[in-house]
Amino acid sequence: MNLQDYKGIFVFVEQRDKKIEKVSLELISKAKKLAVDLKCEVTGVLLGHDMDEEAKKLNYYGADKVIYLDSPDLDIYMTEPYTDALHKIICERKPEAVIYGATAIGRDLAPKTSARVHTGLTADCTKLDVNPENNNLMMTRPAFGGNIMATIECPEHRPQMATVRPGVMALNECNTASEVNVEKIAWSVPADRINVEILEVIKQVQEKMNVEDAKVLVSGGRGLKGPENFAMLEELAELLGGTIAASRAAVDAGWVSKDRQVGQTGKTVRPTLYIACGISGAIQHLAGMEESDYIIAINKDEYAPIFEAADLGIVGDVFKVVPQFIDQLKKAQVVSCDM
């Protein structure tokens, strides 16, 4: 393999219901920064149908070019048609790196594509950099249960591939004045690549705000002692215009649903305000929320690791502090927080 034949960064663009997922825009934003060091272009690769206007959004967020494969058979994600299409585009265009979101779709597609092109894959990355000595992509992810951070390179194979957790990378501002450069390809999916038929799509209705989208998160841990005590966190979150989250300990105990979990094995968030209530601050949890703009920690243990990451630490009983917090907000007639 001649590594010099490979140039540019591809970002696999995930879409659902003909709308581009936020994580793909985050990855476009990050890839644009990496491209400065690599002196290359960033290309968004979108697979879907009737998404001409949506494809332009990738240019607005920093993609130099967009490759849009248009086919009714690519409208809804299916493993084999997507793997086959992406594999062929990679072999034809030869990017030096391909980045995916570490979502349900990305985690399914990335390993299959990497196997087809005979390269490696670093999963669930929280950081991407360029090694100035050899221009290899430095892909950092938690390892050994989150106790260390491992930085991995792929020096002998191309393209280099990584999945990156949603919410980890900062999102560029949308610039609608950017030049639109979309290469639309009418794609034909071979019949032998359609090995399943989707009869119906049933969407799960979320009653609460997605933790990855919330600007305010009130998060509870083992110190809440039971599911009934999350009611006060929900009240506080509602007053602040946010939603609740939880540590793995609270989720494993069955107090809160899995979609609320923040941390290495949960979701990565970067809200404007993160309030940690009764959370000790193990490294696994910190990995999911340490990029929050402002962190308030409430814990009765003054030596809890969470205080090292907090901008404001309150040493006290969460069952006394939070109700007082709520009372003061009500008195001040604060009903929302738009930060």
CATH of the domain at 47: 3.40.50.620
How confident is the model at residue 145, as a pLDDT? Answer: 63
| Full residue range of the structural domain in which residue 11 is found | 3-193
| Same domain, yes or no: 151 and 259 | no
Residue 199 lies in a domain: no
| Structural domain ending residue among the three candidates 137, 162, 193 | 193
pLDDT at 337: 43
CB crowding 70-81: b at 16 or more within 10 Å, else e: bbebbbebbeeb
d(CA 7, CA 64): 13
**What pLDDT shows up at residue 334?**
45
Domain of 272, CATH number, reads: 3.40.50.1220
In a domain, 19, yes or no: yes
**Is residue 82 domain-shared with residue 178, that is, in the same domain?**
yes
**pLDDT for the residue 336:** 45
Low-confidence ranges of the chain (pLDDT < 70): 145-147, 204-207, 333-339
Q: Is the peptide bond before 72 cis (omega within 30 degrees of 0)?
A: no
Per-residue pLDDT at 267 = 87
pLDDT score for 23: 93
pTM of full prediction above 0.75: yes
Q: Could you tell me the two tokens for 238?
A: 């509602």
Give the count of domains, the chain: 2
State whether 40 and 87 are in the same domain. yes
